[in-house]
Structure 1
Amino acid sequence: MGVSTTYLSKTEVQELLKVSSFGMWRLPRQHKDFPAPEKHPRHRSHDPEPAAPVWDGTALYVWAADTPEFRHRGALLRRPVPGQRQAGRHLGYRDTPYGPATDWHTAIGVIRMLHTTDSGAASSAAVDLAGEFNREVVTVCALYGDIGHSGPALVAADTAQPGIEYEAQWGIVADLVGQSLPWWPGLLRRPEVIRQWRPGAAAVVADVPVEARETVLRTAARNPVFSTAACTALTNLANQIRNQRVDGVASEIKIFGDHATRLQTRMVVAAQHDEASHPLDVLDEEDDDILATGWREIGAGSQPDAVAATDVALGYDPDLLPYGRFTDVRAGEGGIAERWSRRLAVCDPTAAHATLAEGKQVEAFFTDPLTGMPVVRTRNDGDNGPMWLFYAPLSLPADCGDLVSAILYDTVWITTANGQVHPAPCTPGDHLWWGDGWGDRPSEAAHVVNQLLDNPTCRISLSDHWSKAPAGLTALFNEEHRRGTELTRAELLHARMKPASRR
């Protein structure tokens, strides 16, 4: 979130500052720091009418507050704080369309604190109040989402000029209120939590709300169709997501709380997560085999719960599932992809197929019998034609024989000594390509081929591929090869023996 930009025309500037056309002409001559006009960013160069000058509303409004002659026209919370004043008081909680709020009576009027970081919330709330002919609330503050020098950063909009937002200081508001102001971490910034707070009270202890992904996983774990291993995998990921969510709240509280203590800002943490039930138990690395077995079953399942859980796992950590990089290649053109497709077996769709086919018109579902990878063939949509959608394998099957060649056809393909062809193995977070990458060299493909030349059935690793891939192989894949080019084993071995070129 940030301060939304408002542009004012010359007429609107005159209305804001209450000056005539002549007074407007004099302003930059009397005040060297008067904001300069600018061209409206939405004006198009081919418009027949020249662009009328506009002023940045925030810059102008803050300038007015800093200029004695126009201070009474400027941003309310950027003006000097009144000297003789009584301590403000808490007026309680308010429900608003823009989020939960608390009102504070001060010497300059009522300040409404919106406990949200939604962009434009301060201005929208101020516009509503102005339209209701509000006589009490003089300014609305929303959270910027960051930390300022005197406390959480604020965005403010005055009801006198509700369309203009500006940055405000937490410390200024606290001085006007006469006490420390409450702050809630993001996930506890909820009406039922905020309305419990009173000045001087201890922090409210509240549960961190459950996230949708966690609900999906726990619902699936209760499905009796899944084995113990699958339920363990589902519960373990749900616990991980839960712990991460609660840890995020704890971290936010620590960051803002430590800042307040270090700089002695007038801020109190108004809500605390319930620490009694945290963290939830998660499995250790020695249980990886159980998790792998569970996720393999889930990905192969056909239940709606399996589909939903597989989708969550792929979004959270694709390494949980036994699938490599999502890949798509054009179908129906002959060549290496059609040769590969002849061995595919038609099957009923699984959860893994569903994640491949999401949003696509599907012609059929397949499984590669040699690698177990799910494959989808889409219908001809008239634009791109039919496509093969699949996950790259993580390794080639046992007894495939040596790598014979690499073929470049939308991705990298491998032919082996036993006469088979496979999409080259690839980890979920990487991709295989060739040609000029505008400065990014195809070291992933080079590193995969380098490993397969020595051990065609190894489990592929792409960690530090940019430093581990042989320079000669990387240079070979960096060339602009014609689609369908076949690089023989001899060419690949020769390339990886070449030293890095000197520059």
Structure 2
Amino acid sequence: MGVAKRYLSKAEVQRLLGVNGFGWWRLVRKYESFPEPEERPVGFAALGDEESEEVWDGTHVYKWAAEIPEFAHRGALLLRPLPEVLAPGAWAGYRDTVRGPALDWHTGLGTIRIVHSDERKAASDVASAVVKSGKLESVVSVCALFGDMGFTGPALVAADTAHPDIEYEASWGDVAALAGTDLPWWPDLLRLPQVIRLWQPGTKATVVAVPPNEQETVLRRAADNKAFDDAARAAVTDVANDIRNNRIDHTRHDNEIFGKRGHGTKPNPVVIGAVPDTAGHPLPCDTDPRTLRAGWRALAGSSHPDAVAALEVATVRDPSLLPFGAVTEVPVRSGTVYDRWAQRLTLCDPTAAHAVLAQGERAQSFLIDPLTDMPVLRIASSKNIWRFYAPLSLPAAGEELAAVVLHHTLWIVTSGGQVHPAPCTPHEHLWWGDGWGDRPSEAALVTDALLDDLGTAVDLREHWKAPEGLTALFDEQHKQGTELSRSTLLHARMTPPRTR
């Protein structure tokens, strides 16, 4: 989450510290540790102080004041020196807030509200809401979760109701000392109002079913859809189970990290509020790979909205589940090598694969490559492009690679005269020339594999092992439309590159 930035003008710093013009002059001369000003950021405006070009980081000033005896009473409340004798604290119950569930704790400083959220500005927003309501309920400070681990427990971000728009980091151990007890903490996925509302001091950790996320919900809906065959339903169930297993494991790991005993001999004052329900865990994720491939292929060819939603999950989570390679775009342009490819494309009704490939844009035409079964779109609008999935392999039919043509991507010309986009796995892309420090070894490895077997399924996981001679050839800054013949490619493959 982090601490939200809040800049203060000179006038605002003076009001925060309670000093007039002379007091300001004295302050900056007396304290060398006083925070340095910063240049006014773009868009910053402070009423009555428009001329000043300097501003101060509010968090730095507020923290500095807490450490200086003269200004400690105006500094960050939870950073001031703790009293030698602490008044006993007490739990003060549950609260719903604008940023999620919270627990209140009565302390010797007043009520401290802990919001169990790690969203940005949660502390400031809740403190501001308390002030705006006019019902302070003696709340003096609001803490929210930083999302990380501190030295004495979960890291905290605080905002005092005296200055709700200034956030700073606070110590879990200090707040626990003020509260007089170990403080409860809930893992991210179990940070639910209905769970936190039931907590009281001394209660055991609640066993809670980890709720499904949107991805799992989408996949479970598809798995229950009788419009899909058994293979498709098994495929989405497999991924849904994997998501559920990961979420349960993540929650258990969170509890292990945030509930650990601490850095020294003194344990952290942390009570784990909830643990995940592990009944039946782990769910099976061992569907036969052939069934998975068949299932996702069937979903890709479906026109059902549930298939579209399931494919969108797959493209985000693991595009290698789908029978398609990398998404590729080239401009619609006659006379190019790929214009020959475009002429064989066949119009078709849109499928789930087309819908996902559109990426929210409106397509002019939905097509398919009859030789590779790859979906293709023509996006007219302002782009006028072909967008398609690269194949994972090419139909060989006894042919061999005759040439590679470089035009926005690699195009394979076969000995039978066919033109194909070069195969490419979903996480890679094919290019040549200057790669801003990166060499085009992917293009070299694909070419190397196709020279030996036009129908091979490419694997680019170790693309850096491509033949140095081919990599050096693709390193060159070739013009669009450059054709590299089979002889040229074979010669490059067997020729060690010259030392630069």
Q: Do Structure 1 and Structure 2 share a fold, with TM-score over 0.5?
A: yes
TM-fit CA distance, 1:225: 2.0
Letter paired with 2:236: L
The 1-side partners of 2:352 and 2:132 are apart by 52
User: Which range moved further: 176-185 or 226-235?
Assistant: 226-235
Is the contact between residue 43 and residue 51 of structure 1 (CA under 8 Å) also seen in structure 2? no
The 2-side partners of 1:471 and 1:162 are apart by 61
Is the contact between residue 413 and residue 419 of structure 2 (CA under 8 Å) also seen in structure 1? yes
CA deviation map 1:25-73 (0-9, x unaligned): 11122112111222123279xxxx9752211111111111101111111
TM-fit CA distance, 1:405: 0.4
| Corresponding residue for residue 160 of structure 2 | 158
Q: Is residue 244 of structure 1 aligned with residue 242 of structure 2?
A: no
For normalisation by structure 2, the TM-score amounts to 0.95
TM-fit CA distance, 1:138: 0.3
| Corresponding residue for residue 35 of structure 2 | 35
CA deviation map 1:402-421 (0-9, x unaligned): 11100011110001111111
Letter paired with 1:22: F
SS in 1 for 2:93: strand
| Corresponding residue for residue 299 of structure 2 | 298
Q: Is residue 486 of structure 1 aligned with residue 483 of structure 2?
A: yes
Letter paired with 1:16: L
| Corresponding residue for residue 94 of structure 2 | 93
Structure 1 runs (4+) deviating above 6 angstroms are none
TM-fit CA distance, 1:160: 0.8
Q: Structure 2, unaligned stretches of length 5 or more?
A: 45-49
CA deviation map 1:303-342 (0-9, x unaligned): 1111111111111111111101111111143211210112
| Corresponding residue for residue 414 of structure 1 | 412
Q: How does 1:149-188 map to 2 (within 5 A)?
A: 149-188=151-190
SS in 2 for 1:69: coil
1:50/1:95 CA distance change after superposition, 3 Å: closer
The 2-side partners of 1:319 and 1:265 are apart by 43
| Corresponding residue for residue 467 of structure 2 | 470
User: Which range moved further: 74-83 or 332-341?
Assistant: 332-341
Q: Is residue 277 of structure 1 aligned with residue 271 of structure 2?
A: no
| Corresponding residue for residue 374 of structure 2 | 373
Is the contact between residue 400 and residue 418 of structure 1 (CA under 8 Å) also seen in structure 2? no
**Identical columns (%):** 54
Q: How does 1:73-222 map to 2 (within 5 A)?
A: 73-133=74-134, 134-222=136-224
| Corresponding residue for residue 47 of structure 2 | none
SS in 2 for 1:233: helix
The 2-side partners of 1:452 and 1:30 are apart by 75
User: Which range moved further: 420-429 or 300-309?
Assistant: 300-309
1:151/1:444 CA distance change after superposition, 3 Å: same
The 1-side partners of 2:312 and 2:137 are apart by 52
SS in 2 for 1:258: coil
SS in 2 for 1:63: helix
The 2-side partners of 1:43 and 1:222 are apart by 52
1:492/1:281 CA distance change after superposition, 3 Å: same
The 1-side partners of 2:320 and 2:37 are apart by 54
For normalisation by structure 1, the TM-score amounts to 0.95
Q: Structure 1, unaligned stretches of length 5 or more?
A: none
| Corresponding residue for residue 350 of structure 1 | 351
Letter paired with 1:75: A
Q: Is residue 264 of structure 1 aligned with residue 267 of structure 2?
A: yes
CA deviation map 1:267-295 (0-9, x unaligned): 111111111132111115xx111111111
The 1-side partners of 2:320 and 2:422 are apart by 17
Letter paired with 1:475: A
Is the contact between residue 9 and residue 52 of structure 2 (CA under 8 Å) also seen in structure 1? no
